[in-house]
Amino acid sequence: MSKAQDEIIKQWEMLASGDLKGGDPKSLEMVTPEGITIKPLYTAADVPPSAAKEIPGQAPYTRGVRATMYTGRPWTIRQYAGFSTAQESNKFYRKNLAAGQKGLSVAFDLATHRGYDSDHPRVTGDVGKAGVAIDSVEDMKILFDGIPLDKMSVSMTMNGAVIPILAMYIVAGEEQGVSLDKLSGTIQNDILKEFMVRNTYIYPPTPSMKIIGDIIEYTSGHMPKFNSISISGYHMQEAGATLSQELAYTLADGMEYVRAAMDKGLDVDAFAGRLSFFFCIGMDMFMEAAKLRAARQMWAQIMTDFGAKSERSKMLRTHCQTSGVSLTMQDPYNNVVRTTVEAIAATLGGTQSLHTNAFDEAIALPTETSARIARNTQLILQHETGMTRVVDPLAGSYYVESLTKQLADEAWKMINEVEVLGGMTKAIESGLPKLKIEEAALGRQSRVDAGQDIIVGVNKYMLEQEDPIDILDIDNEKVRAGQVKLLAQIKASRDSAAVDAGLAEITKVAKSGEGNLLAAAVEAARARATLGEITQAMEVEFGRHDAVTRVLSGVYSALNKEDPLFKNIQTRIADFESKENHLPYILVAKMGQDGHDRGAKVVATSFADMGFKVDVTNLFVTPDEVADIAIEKGVDVVGVSSLAAGHKTLVPELIKLLKAKNASYIKVVLGGVIPEQDFEFLRDAGVDAIFPPGSNLFDAANAVLGVVSGLKRNH
């Protein structure tokens, strides 16, 4: 080190001790939501000694799972997509593959996720929304028509209805002439995170773990190129988790799945090499890169502790997706920049494959144009930036190496907390991870509302006038009608006795615990049993999980008690109570099969802390059920949370039902991913207020109070 460098470091040390004029450097430090203190200067003293000894392709794989990383082969470009019908999705996939995409990632609609056929009465507003509807093998065959499944890696984001979806994929491959051993790709099959955040579960935790064990067993024996599980932290971060929470709880989930497979009698090295991971990549660029480095390092240690001997078993291989929650409806072209920054973070962190979100996904499903920009973002990074010239370019960075260690240290503490409870299944049953994530989400929302976390175009540098954005609109009723027609044709032409026998065998395996559920489902799918029928055959024995929605109290008020805006809304609510002899009463509702409840929880908790009387429906309720609950409880207003594009079907139906039940005095407000193009339609339908993504909670509370204050209570 030169004398000049020595002098600079000495000056920083003097500044830190207060001996140098210029102020306290502590004022330049900040503490992240993970509890990590970020300093303005890092030196060699901040780098852990082990970092200098690590090289790519060798345990603990901090620097990457392959010695050559992207210099040998760049990451795989995947685009997660499903468009209403199998025909439309197939068309989109084939076009993207021709344009340079290297693998398929299938998004299913919410009816499919929850194990319902498209003709089920509970999913009238969900069919074809937020993904492709799959009811049978025939849909799966259309989905992959002209796409050779022996040559194309297919990733499927499916957890709840994982048995029928994987069975139908296997049969579609068979009927394409592709044997099991040639199928390659990944099924997400990560049910534990569904109970924490995403909520597209079907069965309770214990039988769900039986399903996972059976899938790992079946694929280990028959599908050597197929990854039987993708352990996902993505939806944790989307639900508000800090990066250390995402890291810890994802790896803890992985530990639980390893135990489930070993409990089936499998040797750890027989399956561990085909476990994969899925992380969210947000806007804290260096922290995100450090997270992926820490994840590989920690997983190598975890698998060593499980007795893994194969080096492949110790490698954490991951797919990443840029953050959806970081995208904004306001000034949406900024999202192109956000997605680019997140893509850079993922690749600097060493991901094996990547999906880049389209800039308009905070508004609606992506258009063909926005999806092309998202895909080309990765092509530009691969071909124009020099990103693939060097293996692990961040290695040795004082800052990144320090972050990697600190993130790992924080995550180990959380994993140990889970282990003390008996593992992740027990921790989930206790509610601990869900509670911690919800607290983190409230903290994030509070910082944004207060302007402490700056979101360009949302709480700073706002546009006076937003430009209109073209959006993709799905005709839900048309899609559903087509699916129902095909279902009827399949049921009329199949061998009913073979279907009944196949379904009976599934129920028998579920009841006895003997045999393999996936193997039984493959036989039923060959006979053309539908997704809903296969799901129901297991539900007979397992039941359907029905979580109780709880609302935190005191968290939002503790964060905002001194804020003048918070005090102002409390005063307004007190004035309302004095005048009307009751508190303003809101029912927060989630209708349809969308389980993303971060927004609903944040609104319910913050409104309760501000002084509203608040009730929350359970998930997956119908408009009719919401209307009955609202009338029974005597609420002033129903606040509907919608993130899955069902608002044009479900919300007008709720308003009609309230009117039909002589309860039109109950007003309806709406929040979530609502395109501005739909505002007029919704207002004409009777919606009193609309809150798109990025809405300030204080503004929303004042607006809802205004709606309630205008009521004439006549019941």
Q: Which residues are part of the catalytic machinery?
A: 80, 234-235, 590, 594, 596
Q: Alpha-carbon distance 325 to 197, whole Å? A: 14
Q: What is the CA radius of gyration of the chain?
A: 26
**Which of 594, 548, 537 shows the shortest CA–CA distance to 207?**
537
Residue type at 260 in one-letter notation: A
DSSP label at 309?
-
For residue 132, the cross-strand partners are 108
The C-alpha atoms of residue 14 and residue 20 are separated, in whole angstroms, by: 5
Beta-ladder partners of 668: 638
Beta pairing partners, 156: 106, 187
Helix H or strand E encompassing 230: strand 229-232
Q: What are phi and psi of 589, to 5 degrees?
A: -125, 140
Structure tokens at 433: 């991870």
Q: Sheet containing 229-232: which strands, arranged edge to edge?
A: 226-227, 185-187, 154-156, 103-106, 76-81, 353-355, 318-322, 275-281, 229-232
Q: How far is residue 63's CA from residue 350's CA, in Å, rounded to a whole number?
A: 8
How far apart are alpha carbons 602 and 600 in whole angstroms?
Answer: 6
Q: Is 102 exposed, middle or buried (0-12, 13-18, 19+ CB in 10 A)?
A: middle
User: Is residue 701 a contact partner of residue 612, using CB atoms and an 8 Å limit?
Assistant: yes
Q: Residues 676, 648: contact at Cβ < 8 Å?
A: no
3-state secondary structure of 487: helix
Which position has the token pair 């010239």?
Answer: 389
Q: What backbone torsions phi and psi does residue 463 show, to the nearest 5 degrees?
A: -80, 145
**Encoded tokens for 121:** 């009465």
Q: How far apart are CA 151 and CA 149, in angstroms?
A: 5
- Return the H-helix or E-strand segment holding 438: helix 432-449
Q: Which two tokens stand for residue 37?
A: 């203190």
- Angle, CA 500 vertex, CA 169 and CA 483 arms, to 5°: 50
CA angle 93, 98, 99 (to 5 degrees): 95
The DSSP-derived string for 498-543 is HHHHHHHHHHHHHHH--S-HHHHHHHHHHTT--HHHHHHHHHHHH-
